[in-house]
């Protein structure tokens, strides 16, 4: 449940953030000499499928969740990965996403962390995040997660409006959302993030002023981090089907853009840094895990449907793996001793350049093309790309400073299209 509609979901694919801020997150930078290494662990079970959700999540009653069997599978997978290489770097971050990881028995989640620690080792400042749903997070659960080793929680609040929450099909109400934040704090969680969805036209349709008021109320709560995602309607979801039949209220692009700006202004006013298109943080509280994706670090994808990317230490190539989304199929494969992802994709250096542009330009810090080219062993500034860069610069959509490029704040909402122009 980073829930949102989010395109930059850890399980799906990378996405992250802040200019001139070399210390952000304390992990590697694209092309830097010191790089991070992350692990994403997918937990696929939810109590109910939200109508907008296209993540690999499965409605399962609490009592039917296979806590221990799923744990055994992920631990087995860790052992299988360990055999693939002679040496591995220490992990700089671990992220439990889903699905609803806060439904997982904390002891099982802790066993997975122990296996990761004993197999790969953790950097001293390792970030360990778990996504939580307000309906499965109380003070006791938050304490158990802390004891298991988690040091950052991301809670799927999504809205502070009763009608919009109902429209989004959420199981919690406004008080329940706020109570989960308070419970996390009472348990001693120091790094707290929440997800919010804007651009919601159903329920009591949201205005940019509503979006501003919601993020300010959450900021007032003292959060360290906030992710704000525009609602996207995906084919294959309940909302997608309703939209296809013309029966879903949908916000206009202008309204979504206005809400995006209202959120940006409001959070910037109260001291947050807009470090990535959809992410805001207090200084030094950027999510290291997502920065890892956006900066092009290697990451293991563990669990059903999880995506991982590992670069070849001897070339600019990389391999991307994706596990089968069906949890049963995933479990029986790895418990049978096989590390057999459903998909394995070879990424050549030019493909990785395009991906690095797509991800790196989402960040306020932008990307150093010289370092990227050196790392991948290719010429990034081809004549054609140079022409496109200068055109974007003249249009006020790209800032170029020697080898460094970034998108100015005013054009950040168009980052995907800007990056695509450089392909
Ligand atoms: S709670 Fe489950 S169904 Fe709802 S958005 Fe999160 S992952 Fe999807």
Q: Which stretches in the chain have pLDDT values below 70?
A: 1-34
Torsion angles phi and psi, residue 322, rounded to 5:
-140, 130
What is the spatial distance between Cα 242 and Cα 245, in angstroms, rounded to a whole number? Answer: 5
Which ligand 1 atom sits closest to the C-alpha of 4?
5
Predicted TM-score (pTM) of this structure: 0.92
The preferred substitution site among 49, 58, 172, 236 for testing ligand 1, maximizing ligand atoms within 8 Å of CB, is 49
Q: Is 53 close to ligand 1, i.e. is its CB under 6 Å away?
A: yes
pLDDT at 34: 58
Q: Is 133 close to ligand 1, i.e. is its CB under 6 Å away?
A: yes
CB 271 within 8 A of CB 9: no
How confident is the model over 143-202, as pLDDT tens digits? Answer: 999 999 999 999 999 999 999 999 999 999 999 999 999 999 999 999 999 999 999 999
Q: What's the mean per-residue pLDDT of the chain? A: 91
pLDDT at 412: 85
pLDDT at 410: 87
Which residue has the CA at smallest separation from atom 7 of ligand 1? 99
Which residue has the CA at smallest separation from atom 1 of ligand 1? 1
CB 256 within 8 A of CB 199: yes
Long-range CB contact pairs, 75-79, < 8 A, 24+: 75/111, 75/112, 75/115, 76/334, 76/335, 76/337, 77/302, 77/303, 77/334, 77/339, 78/112, 78/115, 78/116, 78/119, 78/302, 79/115, 79/119
Q: What is the Å distance from ligand 1's center to 50 Cα? A: 5
Q: What is the Å distance from ligand 1's center to 44 Cα? A: 9
Q: Would 24-293 and 361-423 be classified into the same CATH topology?
A: no
pLDDT at 414: 85
pLDDT at 178: 97
pLDDT at 190: 97
The preferred substitution site among 46, 96, 134, 135 for testing ligand 1, maximizing ligand atoms within 8 Å of CB, is 46
- Tally of CB atoms within 10 A around 46: 24
The preferred substitution site among 59, 95, 100 for testing ligand 1, maximizing ligand atoms within 8 Å of CB, is 100
Q: Does domain 361-423 have CATH number 1.10.10.920?
A: yes
Phi/psi class of residue 282: alpha, beta or left (left: φ > 0; alpha: ψ in -120 to 50)? beta
- Domain-by-domain residue ranges, the chain? 24-293, 361-423
pLDDT at 272: 98
pLDDT at 313: 86
pLDDT at 228: 97
- Tally of CB atoms within 10 A around 172: 20
Tokens of 233: 């309607």
How confident is the model over 93-121, as pLDDT tens digits? Answer: 999 999 999 999 999 999 999 999 999 99
Q: Is 1 close to ligand 1, i.e. is its CB under 6 Å away?
A: yes
Q: What is the Å distance from ligand 1's center to 57 Cα? A: 7
How confident is the model over 272-286, as pLDDT tens digits? Answer: 999 999 999 999 999
One of 3.40.50.1110, 3.20.20.70, 3.40.50.2300, 3.90.400.10 is the CATH number of 24-293, namely 3.20.20.70
Q: What is the Å distance from ligand 1's center to 56 Cα? A: 9
């Amino acid at each position: 449940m980073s829930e949102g509609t989010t395109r930059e979901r850890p399980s799906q694919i990378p996405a992250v953030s802040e200019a001139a801020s070399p210390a952000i997150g304390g992990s590697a930078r694209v092309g830097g000499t010191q790089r991070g290494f992350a692990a994403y662990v997918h937990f696929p079970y939810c109590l109910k499928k939200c109508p907008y959700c296209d993540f690999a999540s499965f409605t399962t009653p609490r009592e039917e969740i296979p806590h221990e069997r799923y744990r055994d599978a992920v631990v087995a997978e860790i052992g299988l990965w360990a055999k693939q290489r002679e040496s591995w770097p220490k992990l700089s971050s671990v992220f439990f996403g889903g699905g609803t990881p806060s439904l997982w028995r904390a002891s099982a989640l802790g066993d997975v962390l122990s296996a990761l620690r004993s197999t790969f080792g953790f950097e001293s400042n390792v970030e360990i995040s778990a996504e939580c749903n307000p309906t499965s997070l109380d003070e006791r659960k938050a304490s158990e997660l802390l004891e298991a080793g988690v040091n950052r929680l991301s809670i799927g609040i999504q809205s502070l409006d009763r009608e919009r929450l109902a429209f989004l099909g959420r199981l919690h109400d406004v008080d329940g959302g706020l109570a989960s934040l308070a419970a996390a704090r009472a348990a001693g969680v120091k790094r707290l993030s929440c997800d919010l969805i804007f651009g919601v036209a159903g329920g009591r349709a949201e205005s940019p002023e509503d979006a501003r008021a919601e993020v300010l109320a959450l900021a007032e709560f003292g959060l360290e981090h906030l992710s704000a995602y525009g609602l996207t309607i995906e084919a294959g979801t309940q909302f997608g089907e309703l939209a296809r039949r013309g029966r879903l209220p949908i916000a206009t692009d202008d309204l979504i853009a206005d809400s995006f700006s209202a959120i940006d202004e409001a959070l910037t006013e109260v001291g947050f840094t807009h470090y990535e298109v959809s992410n805001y943080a207090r200084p030094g509280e950027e999510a290291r895990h997502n920065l890892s994706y956006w900066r092009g670090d290697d990451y293991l994808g563990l669990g059903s449907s999880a995506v991982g990317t590992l670069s070849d230490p001897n070339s600019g190539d990389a391999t991307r793996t994706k596990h089968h989304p069906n949890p049963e199929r995933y479990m029986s494969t790895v418990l049978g001793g096989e590390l057999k992802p459903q998909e394995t994709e070879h990424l050549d250096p030019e493909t990785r350049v395009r991906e690095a542009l797509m991800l790196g330009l989402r960040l306020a810090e932008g990307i150093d093309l010289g370092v990227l080219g050196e790392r991948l062993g290719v010429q990034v500034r081809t004549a054609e790309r140079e022409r496109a860069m200068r055109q974007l610069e003249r249009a006020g959509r790209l800032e170029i400073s020697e080898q460094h490029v970034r998108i100015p704040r005013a054009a950040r909402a168009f980052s995907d299209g800007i990056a695509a122009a450089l392909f």
